[in-house]
Amino acid sequence: MVHDSVPPSQAGIVRTGSNRSKADFSRAIGLTLQRLRLERGYSQERLAHMAGISSYTYQKFEKGESKPGTPMNPRLFTLLSLAEVLDVELEDLVPTDWPDLTEGS
DSSP-assigned states of every residue in the chain: ---TTS-TTTTT---------HHHHHHHHHHHHHHHHHHHT--HHHHHHHHTS-HHHHHHHHHTEEETTEE----HHHHHHHHHHHT--HHHHS-SS---TTS--
Do the domain assignments include residue 67? yes
pLDDT band, very low/low/confident/very high, at 98 (cuts 50, 70, 90): confident
Do the domain assignments include residue 101? no
Do the domain assignments include residue 9? no
Structural domain tally of the chain? 1
pLDDT band, very low/low/confident/very high, at 105 (cuts 50, 70, 90): very low
- pLDDT score recorded for residue 20: 73
Residue 76 sits in which domain range? 22-93
Do the domain assignments include residue 59? yes
Do the domain assignments include residue 14? no
Mean pLDDT of the chain: 84
Do the domain assignments include residue 13? no
Do the domain assignments include residue 105? no
Could you read off the pLDDT of 3-34 as tens digits, one per residue? 455 444 455 544 555 567 888 999 999 999 99
Do the domain assignments include residue 86? yes
The CATH number for 58's domain is 1.10.260.40
- pLDDT score recorded for residue 7: 46
What is the percent of the chain with per-residue pLDDT over 70, rounded to a whole number? 79
